[in-house]
């Protein structure tokens, strides 16, 4: 029994903030941001979204898309376990910027989606949140406990951004991505998951809980160089661990967390794998934290770049310092 991703969905808010917009409010410029990070613009959940619904609404829209895509697929293809959303028996949300301390974002989604009797909870692992959620879903399905799991990555990093700190403000954007993961006895599905935390570096990238300071942004603290060095060292390591049972030539895409194009290029170089195997959309979204991997996956799916049987390796890294990878057959 494997855990197969049968559909994806993603959503980003309409409002974009370009590098030129940022250079109007802080001492930065398009050229610096593009050359150092590859980012051109990012989507921001502005006043259009009530403050206590930002993560919820972005996630809900991504989930609706993923569930509708799964239902459509179930009509034409033989999907072993999923027929419609009433089959969802677990919802796992990776997020570090929930609207509420409780209930879990997953429980709010469950209610809004009309899914009864499912287990639902959130996982907080920052930019590695989707990898952690997908690994958890894989474990439950492999153990035969649940059959259809909605796995979500959503973050609203803009609510933490201190717009006077050019060192961090230019990097992040808001968004959500979701995947329906189903028990399958076909060839497709997760082959291996790997999840690690370094056990050091917790202060290299952090944001205090929002309730520490109700009136101001919680703000973010980042040692950019330390995080960069960690990412380019550990991401190739964890990918090698995930793909050890197969030939790397057979991997079609490495879908990395979209934090910085230079990190992606460095990982490509260290793995001696061509950049064509590393799809990226950071130029349009910035770093959307737990959402970046499912947004990228959804984009590949919608562009018809994923074919049945393709081997894909997902890899995430970030605050913790945590990192992980999932090798799967599409």
Interacting residues with ligand COA (CB under 6 A): 28, 32-33, 36-37, 127, 166-167, 170, 222, 224-225, 227-228, 259-260, 287, 318
Q: Which two tokens stand for residue 256?
A: 């990395």
Q: Tell me the DSSP string of 190-210.
A: EEEEEEEE-SS-TTTEE---G
Q: Among 63, 107, 127, 313, which one carries the catalytic annotation?
A: 127
CB of 286 to ligand COA, least distance (A): 10
CB of 104 to ligand COA, least distance (A): 23
Asked about 107 being catalytic, the answer comes back as no
Q: Among 19, 260, 287, 313, which one carries the catalytic annotation?
A: 287
d(CA 115, CA 107): 10
CB of 142 to ligand COA, least distance (A): 28
CB of 37 to ligand COA, least distance (A): 5
Asked about 257 being catalytic, the answer comes back as yes
Q: At what angle do helices 129-142 and 292-302 cross, to 10 degrees?
A: 70
| CB contact set of 223 (below 8 Å; sequence gap of 6+) | 203, 204, 205
| CB contact set of 214 (below 8 Å; sequence gap of 6+) | none
CB of 224 to ligand COA, least distance (A): 3
d(CA 105, CA 99): 8
Task: Please report the sign of the dihedral spanned by the C-alpha atoms of residue 137, residue 281, residue 302, residue 10.
Answer: positive
Q: Tell me the DSSP string of 276-315.
A: GGS---HHHH-B-GGGHHHHHHHHHHHTT---TT-EEEEE
Of 246, 253, 242, the closest CA to residue 327 belongs to 242
As annotated, the active-site residues are 127, 257, 287
């Amino acid at each position: 029994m494997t855990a197969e991703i049968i559909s994806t969905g993603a959503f980003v808010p309409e409002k974009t903030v370009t590098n030129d917009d940022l250079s109007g409010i802080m001492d930065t410029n398009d050229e610096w941001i593009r050359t150092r990070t590859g980012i051109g613009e990012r989507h921001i959940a502005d006043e259009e979204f009530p403050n206590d619904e930002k993560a919820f609404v972005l996630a809900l829209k991504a989930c609706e898309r993923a569930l509708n895509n799964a239902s459509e697929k179930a009509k034409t293809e033989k999907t072993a376990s999923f027929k419609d959303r009433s089959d969802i028996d677990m919802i796992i949300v990776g997020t570090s910027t929930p609207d509420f301390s409780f209930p879990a974002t997953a429980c709010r989604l469950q209610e809004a989606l009309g899914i009864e009797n499912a287990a639902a909870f959130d996982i907080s692992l920052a930019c590695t949140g989707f990898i952690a959620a997908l690994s958890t879903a894989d474990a439950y399905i492999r153990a035969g406990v649940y059959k259809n799991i909605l796995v979500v990555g959503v973050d609203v990093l803009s609510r933490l951004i201190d717009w006077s700190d050019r060192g961090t403000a230019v990097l992040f954007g808001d968004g959500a991505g979701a995947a329906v993961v189903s028990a399958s006895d076909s060839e497709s599905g997760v082959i291996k998951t790997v999840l690690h935390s370094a056990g050091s570096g917790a202060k290299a990238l952090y944001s205090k809980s929002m309730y520490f300071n109700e009136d101001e942004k919680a703000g973010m603290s980042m040692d950019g160089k330390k995080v960069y060095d960690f990412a380019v060292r550990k991401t190739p390591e964890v990918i090698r661990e995930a793909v050890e049972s197969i030939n790397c030539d057979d991997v079609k895409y490495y879908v990395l967390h979209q934090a910085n194009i230079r990190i992606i290029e460095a990982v490509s170089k260290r793995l001696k794998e061509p950049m064509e195997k590393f799809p990226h959309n950071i130029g349009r979204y910035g770093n959307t934290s737990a959402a970046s991997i499912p947004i990228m996956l959804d984009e590949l799916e919608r562009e018809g770049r994923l074919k049945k049987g393709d081997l894909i390796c997902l890899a995430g890294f970030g605050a913790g310092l945590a990192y992980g990878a999932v090798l799967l057959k599409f």
